[in-house]
Amino acid sequence: MATEVLDAAAAAHEAGHTAETSSGMPQLDITTWDNQIFWLLVSLVAIYLIVTRVAVPRIGAVLAERRGTITNDLAAAEELKLKANEAETAYNKALAAAREEASKIVAAARMDIEADLAKATAKADADIEAKTAVSEKRIAEIREGAMESVTEVAKDTAKELVAVLGGKADARAINAAVSARLKG
């Protein structure tokens, strides 16, 4: 039995060795080309069917979905751009209206302030005129009082001078002389 196993192993080894050395690469063996071409065609048909029935529709669906998403996004962006332009136009109009309203308010306030200033100036002028009239009246009274005092002092001084020089002073003559001298 041991010898049978050894003989079979040796025969198998010799057969494999002869097959390896005699045929070379199995793909280049002309006797198996029919079989290789058949399986190549079966593989190509299977790959074609898988690609056309499964992969291409899925890729097409993804591309169509992306195309739809891009188209929708572009439409939404265009719509938002139009809304933004409208909002900017409305903002500019509102800003111009607000500026115009502010200038009207400023002009009205300026007119009110000028009117108040004119009233205050007129009142101040009237107060100044009234005080000036009172002051002028008082100054006139003071001048008049001063002139009377000067006249009295001049009369008294003239009497005293006449008396010191040894004469008798007549009150009428002294009054006439002082009055004549004060007139100029």
What's residue 161's pLDDT?
Answer: 82
pLDDT lower than 50: segments of the chain: 17-21
Tell me: the pLDDT tens digits for 32-66? Answer: 889 999 999 999 999 999 999 999 999 999 999 99
Non-local (6+) Cβ contacts of 178 within 8 A are 151, 154, 155, 158
Sketch the domain layout of the chain as residue ranges.
30-183
Distance of CA 121 to the CA centre of its chain: 41
pTM value? Answer: 0.41
What's residue 72's pLDDT?
Answer: 95
What's residue 19's pLDDT?
Answer: 47
How far CA 35 is from CA of 16, 24, 29, 30, 48, in Å, comes to: 22, 18, 11, 10, 20
What's residue 1's pLDDT?
Answer: 54
Give the CA dihedral 52, 56, 60, 66, nearest 10 degrees.
Answer: 170
Give the containing element (helix H, strand E) for 109.
helix 56-165
